[in-house]
């Protein structure tokens, strides 16, 4: 029996393998069972809930079933937020990998806004933490007139602002960062206390940047999340990978996850490295052009401005432009 050509195969022929692999990773991460596991180990408000409870906390009103992310006829819930980009006047345009909302089961429908980014390198030439801080700043400012107001007639105003998390999953990490999860948050620090009756308000925990540094070895980590992600993103045989995900991490192999993991394996780093050796894109240029793409997405520059510098070839700028589509 001869397999018919798939849409994935056609896409590989049309677009760069590296871009396709990144898109494939985002598709896999957008599945609720995988997201629930990411949230359990990175969002402390959800850490004591079961995986099933966390899945139910994901707000259905913030979910969009988009053609880019969900194939027709597949029914597993997929998280793709209705607003994957912020375009604020004077602040530029920013595009998120994944952005969605969760509601805590505390009887008050407490909302948290989540952003998850899949990052190939934890040290791309700039601080991932600084970029995460920039993202949460945008996630907060984008809430004006949607979650809160600065209108004097509104008694709550800024008190209606919702907490935000920006979670970064880094795949290629140096030895001093591998196999770790680090959280950065906003907390009060008493610089002077002139009264023994000082009452410090600890409710200002509105932001969290969490960086997940993978170990790069599916047999290395003792952390459930890192172990699952290392396995998910490893180069191991796809059948063995699926079996390990099911048996060791209790990840249900739904039709969607099964197919998307297979597709991602077909677009593995091995294919990317093969493309590099064939001269499609040198490794040194890959990192440099990836940084340019990030700068454009974060609103710091444009293709036209880069072209005006004369530092980049037309082919390089074409590659960056295509990666933005």
Average pLDDT over every residue of 128-149: 90
Percentage of the chain exceeding pLDDT 90: 27
pLDDT for position 282 = 54
pLDDT for position 172 = 86
Cα(211)–Cα(79) distance, integer angstroms: 20
Q: 138: part of which helix (H) or strand (E)?
A: helix 128-141
Cα(213)–Cα(170) distance, integer angstroms: 5
pLDDT for position 24 = 80
Q: How confident is the model at residue 67 (pLDDT cuts 50, 70, 90)?
A: very low
> Quick check: 37 pLDDT over 90?
yes
Average pLDDT over every residue of 292-308: 85
> Quick check: 57 pLDDT over 70?
yes
Q: Give the number of other Cβ atoms within 10 Å of residue 61's Cβ.
A: 8
Q: 301: part of which helix (H) or strand (E)?
A: none
Q: How confident is the model at residue 274 (pLDDT cuts 50, 70, 90)?
A: low
Average pLDDT over every residue of 279-307: 75
User: What pTM does this model have?
Assistant: 0.73
Q: Which residues pair with 115 in a beta bridge?
A: 99, 166
List b or e across 117-151, with b for residues whose CB sees 16 or more CB atoms inside 10 angstroms: bbbbebebeeebbebbbbbbebbbebbeeeebeee
Ordered DSSP codes for 6-18: PHHHHHHHHS-HH
pLDDT for position 225 = 96
């Amino acid at each position: 029996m001869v397999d018919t050509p798939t849409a994935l195969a056609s896409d590989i022929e049309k677009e760069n393998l590296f871009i396709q692999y990144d898109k494939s990773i985002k598709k896999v991460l957008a599945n609720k069972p995988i997201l629930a596991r990411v949230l359990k180990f990175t969002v402390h408000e959800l850490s004591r809930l079961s995986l099933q409870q966390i899945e139910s906390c994901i707000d259905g009103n913030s979910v969009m079933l988009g053609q880019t992310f969900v194939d027709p006829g597949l029914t597993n819930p997929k998280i793709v937020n209705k607003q994957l980009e912020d375009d604020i006047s004077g602040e530029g345009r920013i595009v998120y990998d994944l952005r969605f909302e969760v509601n805590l089961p505390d009887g008050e429908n407490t909302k948290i806004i989540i952003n998850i980014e899949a990052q190939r390198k934890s040290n791309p030439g700039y601080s991932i933490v600084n970029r995460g801080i920039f993202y949460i700043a945008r996630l907060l400012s984008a809430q004006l007139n949607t979650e809160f107001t600065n209108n004097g007639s509104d008694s709550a105003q800024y008190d209606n602002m919702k907490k935000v998390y920006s979670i970064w999953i880094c795949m290629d990490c140096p030895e001093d960062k591998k196999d770790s999860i680090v959280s950065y948050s906003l907390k009060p620090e008493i610089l002077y206390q002139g009264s023994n009756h000082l009452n410090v308000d600890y409710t200002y925990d509105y932001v969290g940047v969490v960086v997940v540094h993978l170990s790069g070895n599916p047999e290395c980590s003792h952390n459930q999340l890192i172990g699952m992600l290392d396995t998910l993103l490893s180069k191991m045989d796809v059948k063995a990978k699926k079996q390990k995900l099911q048996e060791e991490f209790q990840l249900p192999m739904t039709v969607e996850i099964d197919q998307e993991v297979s597709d991602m394996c077909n677009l593995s780093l091995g294919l990317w490295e093969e493309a590099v050796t064939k001269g499609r894109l040198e490794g040194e240029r890959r990192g440099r052009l990836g940084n340019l793409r990030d700068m454009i997405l974060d609103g710091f520059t444009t293709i036209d401005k880069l072209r005006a510098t004369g530092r980049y070839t037309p082919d390089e700028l074409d590659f960056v432009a295509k990666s933005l589509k």
